[in-house]
Structure 1
Amino acid sequence: MLSQRLIRPSPRLVTATHFRYRPLPRPRFSSTESSKKSSSSAIYIGVVSFAAGLGTGWALYRNGKSERPFISSSSPDTVQTPLVTRKTTIPTPDLNELGITDQIVYTAPPTLDDVTKQLNEHKFTVRGALGGVDRYDGAQLASNSPCEDAYMHGSFSSPFGGSGDDSRWMAWAVFDGHCGWQLSNLLKTQLMPFVRRSLADAKPADKSEAAEEAVQQALKNSFMSLDAALVKSATAIIESDLPFAEKARRLEPAYAGACALLTLFDPQSRKLHVASTGDCRAVLGQKAEDGKWITTALSMDCTGATPSEIQRIKAQFPDEPNVVQGGRVWGLQPSRTLGDGMWKWTATLKQKLRHHYNGLALPSATRYKDYKEGPYVTAEPLVTTTQIPSPKEGQPSFLILATDGLWDTMSSEQAVDLVGRWYDRQRKGAQAVEPEKPAEDFGPVILGWKRQCKYEERKATFRDDNAAVHLMRNGLGGADEEMVRGALAFRYPNSRDIRDDITIQVVFFGPV
């Protein structure tokens, strides 16, 4: 539940709201008109049943049915009888089979085989992708239920024309939702259309290659346009003639929020464009001449703990000294996000949404009394462009993009080192992947507020043929199999105290 999520030690949101502060149940909607329709419907049952056929009426009588008629959407005044269907009967469960005992039978924890199956459940590998990308791997592991992460990958036509495989750009993205899964799930299908439209608008009139700055601005425009369509349309939605249920569904993604990390690769120029909001992260691993792997940051974490973000926000709100505290913007950890309307709407609009459209009671008025109007967070991404060397130059490279569930467990340098060593083993042959070996004694397993899942180099293991799964396993304990079993033994909501949703994609620009 949201209230449970909010009081945990390391979620994106912090609020003083607890169960005892929850509002009283709201009264159900009622009206005189609906009462009249209900009464008249009851009167019509006998008449309509007879008109539908004596057989149907007799069946209703014999079966003791008391279904009310329903109103046709095409003709509100036409009363129709429901279809009569025979339900398959099931025998009354015999509870004697449960036995008589005072012993509790618990659900078994995951076995080592279960662990491997769970880590590989959502993995994928795409080989021979367009644009000279040799291969990319992906994987996802949920902690929330349902998972609040999402991802997207694929190719699309070059926004600046051309023909052949090299004219198609590649795209990879990960989305980390909060206050629900609704927005991250929507971004899987809705972000790219906005991006492609913005890139098309950036196309030079003389059909020459678009300037790097034009592509970066197009990415910023696409994020901002999508966010405006979600957040700024709230007033128009509630003032429209749409049915209440339709309004509620359209407001849902804006109540939620999501960090978004999008990477675009142009194979002709070999430029990698990265647009980022929030604390998902993209890093590049490149092999130097001495054989070592070099780590290059392609994005910056945008949170209330980032010095440049703190400076930006405080400069924007000089009269609100408490706007950023404890690494959060009025309780919200990311400082740049899509959605999160409660940090962007006016106080008047938020109050109306709370009272009439079940809007979230965030940020907590009890804890953040100095909160004013905002908007305090922005959807404008930070955008970088990096030149990816050709594999022919003898400099293999790879891209890691992941939600903060991975970065909570390891640093960028550790992730690049793990994938780099995995890459070197793969290049030597499949036998280079370590077989399963007897577990070492790494000491007692401790997981909780005192210790969360963390990568330790001494526990590094290389037993997975998928680079994303390889990172995930090592982030949960690696060769310390009991640690990994323990991490996966906890299910939502308890799992949130030791690990977050994890979504990873690893892209290899050189041959594997």
Structure 2
Amino acid sequence: MDLRVIDLTPASESQLQRTLDEVKDFATTDMDRGGPERWTYRMLSESAVADELRRLACPQTVASVDAASLQPCRTWHYRSQDRHKVEQWALPCGTWTYTAVFDGHMNHHTVDHISAALGPYLKDSLAAALRSRPPDAKIPTLVTSVLERSLEHLDSTLVSDFLAVFPSGKTEELRGLHPSRVKQLLSDCSPAEKGPSGYLRAARAFGGTTALVALVDHTKSHLWVANIGDCVAVLGQKDGAGNWRGTVLNSIHNGSNPGELERIRSEHPEETDCTWNNRVLGFLAPTRAIGDAWLKLPAVYAELVFKHLDADWFSPEVMEPHVPRIRTPPYLSNTPDVYHIPLQDRDGGVQVKSNAAPQRILILCSDGLSDLYDGYTFQDMAMEWVQVVGQELDSIAGPSAARTHTNLALSLLREAIGGADTQLVSRNLTIEMEERWMDDTTIVVQRLP
């Protein structure tokens, strides 16, 4: 047998030095897990940290609203399921501001659809209500009703569109369907058929998303916040002494809220496993959501979908053990909490001059931000976030401040992933892991009068 010998020339000192230079900024970490495994990350300079954060978080500004969203894991499977919207609406009485944060789960189909559909539907519904309202109708009550109906309508439409896939709603007939027929119904429609495919209807209905929506009217006198799920809305205000203080505006709809767990248990008093491990049926953390139809319908639909739908966004082995717990649905609510907050000042509604520094801010965020503040109460988080943003605002308004725009959402995001600790921020942005090391995190910050 012939042997081939490869003669490698020893590297020169300059080549060795160049090789060392290429890896000198790399380090390893256990990601605070305490185990033997180590992952590599790159130590960035301060300017490189700022550039990388902007690249990954894609900050945007629309009028008085800043937004940023981060999921640093590069793996396609773990790409962000958060969505956000910032829009200015021309309504019959003037320009309103619409902001929203959506936190999807299970798949991308539901959150993509709802984040795209809610704004247009809500805008049209609001315009119609404002045009037709009686002279004595109260705007706060009117808008609150429109918000609640719009969110419930879109969820109900997801469910009804899915139910229309099947020729019958009778349990016996559904269970009697041949598996090949079920697979056909849950597959793509033929080109001649109209509307979403059976697959897309099932995906939109069985995936889920939370929704946190804010509206500010044309006079900037009223703020409405509507919430389904565990996103967080915080109102920050600057008091007479110049101190920024924050208040959580919404109830958190997940298993961390004892009131939500008790509500579900009271609706299903004979079912000890309707909540388990602080999750709905032991599976879902949010106690209210859009979609997740399998937690709102009889168990037969979950059985059909989980056995016969060909999808990479769920595992039948994981899902099917939860299905026998479905006895008296629905277990998941689609009813939002809607809050109205007057924005008048102490002088009876006179607005702050447009060239004055904002004295109030609204922060909307997905639960990824609260996850980064483990150990804090929600009120403590609210105070921390508002002080970070408020101090940034105060520095912008100072006499020696630069005139360039500062994205307040990006500033809060930077603080949450490490702040001034460049090494920690570098780690969180560049760690080489195949799985997520932080939840999807989306932040919207709106300057209010």
Change (3 A) 1:316 1:156: same
Partner of 2:391: 421
- How far did residue 201 of structure 1 move? 5.3
In 1, Cα distance between equivalents of 2:426 and 2:318: 36
- How far did residue 242 of structure 1 move? 3.2
- How far did residue 223 of structure 1 move? 0.8
In 1, Cα distance between equivalents of 2:300 and 2:323: 17
- How far did residue 142 of structure 1 move? 1.3
- How far did residue 491 of structure 1 move? 5.2
Asked whether 1:490 is paired with 2:434, we answer: no
Q: Over the residues paired in the alignment, what is the CA RMSD in angstroms?
A: 3.3
Partner of 1:353: 305
In 1, Cα distance between equivalents of 2:88 and 2:443: 18
Contact persistence 2:299–2:326 (CA under 8 A): no
- How far did residue 363 of structure 1 move? 7.0
Show the 5 A alignment for 1:93-492. Answer: 109=42, 111-112=44-45, 113-121=47-55, 122-126=58-62, 129=63, 135-143=64-72, 145-158=78-91, 161-162=92-93, 167-200=94-127, 202-203=129-130, 204-207=132-135, 210-239=138-167, 242-243=189-190, 246-268=197-219, 270-330=221-281, 331-358=283-310, 360=314, 361=316, 364-366=319-321, 369-389=324-344, 390-392=351-353, 396-410=359-373, 411-429=381-399, 431=401, 465-490=406-431
Secondary structure of residue in 1 paired with 2:436 = helix
- How far did residue 340 of structure 1 move? 1.2
Scaled by the length of structure 2, what TM-score is found?
Answer: 0.74
| Superimposed CA distance per residue, residues 225-269 of structure 1 (whole angstroms, 9 cap, x where no aligned partner) | 101111232121344793399221232222221111110110326
Secondary structure of residue in 2 paired with 1:479 = coil
Question: Residue type of the partner of 2:384?
Answer: Q
Change (3 A) 1:402 1:100: farther
Q: Where do 5+ consecutive residues of structure 2 fail to align?
A: 1-5, 12-18, 27-39, 168-184, 345-350, 374-380
Contact persistence 2:298–2:326 (CA under 8 A): no
In 2, Cα distance between equivalents of 1:471 and 1:261: 18
Partner of 2:32: none
In 2, Cα distance between equivalents of 1:119 and 1:395: 26
After superposing on structure 2, the runs of 4+ consecutive aligned residues of structure 1 that deviate more than 6 Å are 105-108
Q: Give the length in aligned residue pairs.
A: 369
Secondary structure of residue in 2 paired with 1:180 = coil
Change (3 A) 1:282 1:491: farther
- How far did residue 394 of structure 1 move? 8.7
Q: Which moved more, 1:360-369 or 1:391-400?
A: 360-369
Question: Residue type of the partner of 2:82?
Answer: D
Q: Tell me: higher relative CO, structure 1 or 2? Use CA pairs within 8 A at least 6 residues apart.
A: 2
Change (3 A) 1:192 1:362: farther
Contact persistence 1:248–1:357 (CA under 8 A): yes
Q: Where do 5+ consecutive residues of structure 1 fail to align?
A: 1-95, 130-134, 434-462
Larger radius of gyration: 1
Change (3 A) 1:181 1:118: farther
Secondary structure of residue in 1 paired with 2:212 = strand
Question: Residue type of the partner of 2:54?
Answer: N
Contact persistence 1:398–1:506 (CA under 8 A): yes
Report sequence identity in percent: 29
Change (3 A) 1:213 1:321: farther
In 1, Cα distance between equivalents of 2:189 and 2:265: 39
| Superimposed CA distance per residue, residues 452-504 of structure 1 (whole angstroms, 9 cap, x where no aligned partner) | xxxxxxxxxxx9932111111111111111111111223564333xx111111
Scaled by the length of structure 1, what TM-score is found?
Answer: 0.65
